[in-house]
Structure 1
Amino acid sequence: MNKRVITVGEIMMRLTPKNNLKISQTNELEICFGGAEVNVAIGLQHLGVDSAVITAVPNNEIGHSAKAFLKSHDINCDSVVVKGERLGLYYYEEGCSLRNGNVIYDRKHSSITDIEIEDIDLESTFKDVEILHISGITLGLGSGVRKFACELVSYAKSIGVKISVDLNYRAKLFSGYEEFAEVMKPIVEDSYICFGWLNRDVNNFKVLDGSRDDITDELLINNFKYMTEDLGVKYVATTLRVGSSVNYNSLTGLIYDGKNLVRSSKYEFSMISRIGGGDAFAAGVIRMLLEEGNNLEVIEFGTACAALKHSIKGDVSLSSYEEVHATTGIRNLGSVNR
């Protein structure tokens, strides 16, 4: 596929105890790299889309390793800025049975907080780019990163690049949902695809529980209409998750285009790792939008991509286009086109 996608966000090192141990129980940690937008870029690359990342890494062995990780997945690193003192870290305790996973961030004053718009050659960076993808996590990393991200999105919009936004609300990065909605609204406005939605009433934010019987199409459309009618978003996509335990879940994907709400098949699976499932979903949806698939093809492929990611250790999706295509709940998505 000739269309290019670029993502902007922090690459981090993840440290995880082995064998589902808690940090207090272990003296050994597994290392991998990831980060919301990085995960999307790598997922897209494995799906046959030429992808690049805008991020920053320090000039030390950890920064060099992070960049080598991106290159090992054929990610274009021309816009990886080398500056700052440290790479962001996060510690992750894997969930098991009834025990949920736990994330501990150590990313304050990381390299990306020093990035500035002058560090990027905008003209060459955005040459032939179809979509810029960003998440709400990046907007929560401090005022400097927020200013940089807003300038980058503004430039992309000005030259006709489509904007993809994964809201990815993280309570640990904002003072509350009201601040988050205020920050994200100008990014979301007139975007091409938004994963998740902003509440019209910022004082009434809650995550939809996929196990509830009252999650009707009417309720969902009422939530999504604010995005399409007031904020000018072309597509809104999300998943409904149901879990009988931490290690066994189901997903149903949803996409809304301002007129019709389309649901995917229901995917049920055991999990090796939950981290990165939403990013794999975003990568799959973006891949099929680039292919100009119909809404059922788009949401079926994206949800299958997310389900497959749960079988892969680490943060990133390694599934190929053909593998996802063969896993979809409908079998007539057309021929493979890469």
Structure 2
Amino acid sequence: MDFYFGGTEMNVAASLSYFGEHTQQVTNVSNDLVGDAAIAQMRQYGIDTSAISKVDHPLGLYFLEVGSGMRASKIAYNRLHGSFANISPKQVNWDEILADAGYLHWTGISPAISASAYETLKIGLEKAKAKGLRITADPAYRSNLWQYGKDGHEVLKELVSLSTIFVGGVNEINEILKTDYGFSKEGFVEASKALIKECPSIEKVFDKVRTGLSASWQKVYGRAWTGAEYLETQELEITDVVDRIGTGDAYAAGLIYGLIHFEDQKALEFANAACALKHTILGDVNQVSPEEVEEVMAGSTGGRIKR
């Protein structure tokens, strides 16, 4: 068995740290050597860990059986009673955490874990919105994680309504709005317009489109609706996938970095190239520099040795 420390928002923070951005993680870890090792790993990535609490609950786990070719990967979760599930609003000083922040990123994994995680996140989003931060929402609906009585679709719609940038596509919009838009360009644009109408705080929608020829052979491209125009990138092909875990987080991190430094089209291209590169890296985190991402954007996909 190989093990890695990961988690959706942490993966994004770690990738942004590799890009040179200041990041901070808000979470709980176990009050034992495993939690200590998790914090040490985050520090190694360059993440500010000052908002992390240690609690007397085990670190959450998931188990991945890696697929190959026509055999799909499989995941089993063991997170319901873990340390993060026991986070509470009184632990988190959102005013202090958000004081100098420009972005707050969240995914649908967090509010799915427990009622207290949902409540803690909601307070953070409300405070971030009041402060005028850009809030990136990756709804990432996982039906088998919602086990504490809340309707996941309703919760995600509520939290997306507190956000400004939606990282997702037609499938995620259909789940939240309970609609059935198609996956064509026109369907994506109409779905994006419907989301913005239902959740007016959303300004832009950025989607990652994946074509899986097999577990080992993937294609990805990005598309976006900016509220005024449709954008799209070229498709990138990964013929020898090393690890698919964290590729969506790599896309989100690339997008946030891109939105900080570039206009929308280049931000979308940066996100897609970052996503493609993560397929070639073992573990949950996209350990690449902005320069490496921009090389792929410029067409350097041959993988020649650099000497």
TM-score > 0.5 by shorter chain: yes
Kept in 2: contact 1:57–1:86 (CA 8 A): yes
* 1:274 counterpart residue number: 244
* 2:173 counterpart residue number: 198
Deviates more, 1:238-247 or 1:93-102: 238-247
Q: What is the alpha-carbon distance in structure 2 between the residues aligned to residue 189 and residue 330 of structure 1?
A: 37
* 2:304 counterpart residue number: none
User: Which structure features the higher share of strand residues?
Assistant: 1
Q: Measured at CA, do residues 205 and 78 of structure 1 come closer, stay the same or move farther in structure 2, by a change above 3 Å?
A: farther
* 1:223 counterpart residue number: 191
Q: CA deviation at 1:127?
A: 2.1
Q: Deviations over 1:144-171 (max 9, x none)?
A: 1111111111111122222111011112
TM-score, scaled to structure 2? 0.91
Q: Measured at CA, do residues 201 and 84 of structure 1 come closer, stay the same or move farther in structure 2, by a change above 3 Å?
A: closer
Does 1:82 pair with 2:75? no
* 1:44 counterpart residue number: 16
Does 1:290 pair with 2:282? no
Equivalent AA in structure 2 for residue 222 of structure 1: E
Secondary structure of residue in 2 paired with 1:181: helix
Equivalent AA in structure 2 for residue 245 of structure 1: S
- The structure 1 segments of at least 4 consecutive aligned residues displaced by more than 4 Å after TM superposition are 200-206
Deviates more, 1:304-313 or 1:182-191: 182-191
Q: CA deviation at 1:238?
A: 1.2
* 1:61 counterpart residue number: 33
**Structural RMSD (CA):** 1.9
Q: What is the alpha-carbon distance in structure 1 between the residues aligned to residue 140 and residue 231 of structure 2?
A: 22
TM-score, scaled to structure 1? 0.83
Q: CA deviation at 1:174?
A: 2.9
Q: CA deviation at 1:284?
A: 0.3
Kept in 2: contact 1:165–1:193 (CA 8 A): yes
Q: Deviations over 1:83-106 (max 9, x none)?
A: 131100110011101011100111
Q: Deviations over 1:86-140 (max 9, x none)?
A: 1001100111010111001111211112212221232321121001100001110
Structure 1: segments with no counterpart, 5+ residues: 1-28, 209-214, 332-338
Structure 2: segments with no counterpart, 5+ residues: 301-307
Q: What is the alpha-carbon distance in structure 2 between the residues aligned to residue 166 and residue 88 of structure 1?
A: 20
* 1:263 counterpart residue number: 232
Q: CA deviation at 1:330?
A: 6.6
